[in-house]
């Protein structure tokens, strides 16, 4: 991926609306990719990408297969190192911070549902890792499963779910700990993705009309701001 050029669309939401269930998020979640580079062997698979993503906004990276979208997401999440440039969140360079300390929600392309854990325990996983107490885990998992309309599926395992349901489990797991940033690799379609985020956002801001408008504005592409590269890598 190279030469990504953001297309601006005016958006009216303020970062403070990221406050979740009465708890303000610790950061705002504005992301800057500042001339980032990723090399595998001699090849620059991400070549000097610069993008500003404001807090609280949907943003899509578009590009053909092999253009470096997943690699870029992995660098933002911290699962791939950055070979040049810097990644900043709210102005702070996090290029060398571990994925755990970044604390972003991540929906992997293959969903990465733990096969030996049921739906409830998959969604509870990030909360257990943060040593949240059992009562709050039950409440928060119920809340997240409600957002993705999987309340009745908590005892199921991945093999007993459709692809869309698995993706919704992955979304619930990515938002259950109220991250400031959620990254999604090739979400299936806006119809699956937007409703849980819309309801999540309503919970955050308590202002349904504002969010209904946002949902209408962002359907079907979901992303009011988009970075696209115009040429395939090779």
Ligand X SMILES: Nc1ncnc2c1ncn2[C@@H]1O[C@H](COP(=O)(O)OP(=O)(O)O)[C@@H](O)[C@H]1O
By the criterion CB under 6 A, which residues form the site for ligand X? 40, 45, 63, 65-71
Q: How far is the CB of 231 from Mg ion (least distance, A)?
A: 17
Residue 55 or 222 having the CB closest to ligand X = 222
Q: Of these partners, ligand X, Mg ion, none, which one is at the site of residue 167 (CB under 5 to 8 Å by kind)?
A: none
Q: Of these partners, Mg ion, ligand X, none, which one is at the site of residue 114 (CB under 5 to 8 Å by kind)?
A: none
DSSP track, 54-93: -TT--EEEE--TTSSHHHHHHHHHTSS--SEEEEEETTEE
Residues near Mg ion (CB under 5 A): 69-70
CA distance 13 to 125: 30
Phi, psi of 208, deg, nearest 5: -65, -40
Q: How far is the CB of 107 from ligand X (least distance, A)?
A: 14
Residue 69 or 178 having the CB closest to ligand X = 69
CA distance 30 to 53: 6
Q: Of these partners, ligand X, Mg ion, none, which one is at the site of residue 171 (CB under 5 to 8 Å by kind)?
A: none
Tell how strand 92-93 and strand 84-89 pair up. Answer: antiparallel
Q: How far is the CB of 1 from ligand X (least distance, A)?
A: 7
Residue 63 or 78 having the CB closest to ligand X = 63
What tokens appear for 19 in the block? 């406050």
Q: Of these partners, ligand X, Mg ion, none, which one is at the site of residue 78 (CB under 5 to 8 Å by kind)?
A: none
Q: How far is the CB of 176 from Mg ion (least distance, A)?
A: 24
Alpha-carbon dihedral of residues 206, 208, 209, 212, nearest 10 degrees?
130
């Amino acid at each position: 991926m190279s030469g990504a050029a953001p297309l601006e669309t005016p958006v009216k939401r303020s970062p403070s609306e990221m406050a979740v269930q009465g708890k303000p998020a610790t950061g705002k979640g504005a992301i800057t990719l500042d001339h980032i580079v990723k090399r595998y062997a001699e090849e620059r698979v991400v070549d000097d990408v610069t993008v500003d993503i404001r807090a609280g906004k949907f943003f899509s990276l578009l590009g053909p297969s092999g253009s470096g979208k997943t690699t870029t997401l992995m660098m933002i999440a911290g699962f791939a190192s950055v070979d040049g440039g810097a990644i900043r969140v709210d102005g702070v360079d996090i290029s060398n911070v571990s994925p755990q300390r970044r604390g972003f929600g991540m929906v992997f392309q293959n969903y990465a549902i733990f096969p030996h854990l049921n739906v409830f325990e998959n969604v509870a996983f990030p909360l257990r890792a943060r040593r949240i107490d059992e009562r709050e885990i039950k409440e928060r998992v119920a809340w997240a499963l409600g957002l993705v309309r999987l309340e009745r599926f908590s005892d199921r395992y991945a093999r007993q779910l459709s692809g869309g349901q698995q993706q919704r489990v992955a979304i619930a797991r990515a938002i259950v700990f109220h991250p400031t940033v959620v990254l999604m690799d090739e979400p299936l379609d806006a119809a699956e993705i937007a409703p849980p985020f819309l309801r999540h956002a309503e919970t955050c801001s308590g202002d349904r009309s504002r969010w209904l408008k946002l949902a209408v504005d962002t359907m079907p592409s979901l992303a009011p701001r988009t970075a696209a590269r115009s040429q395939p890598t090779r």
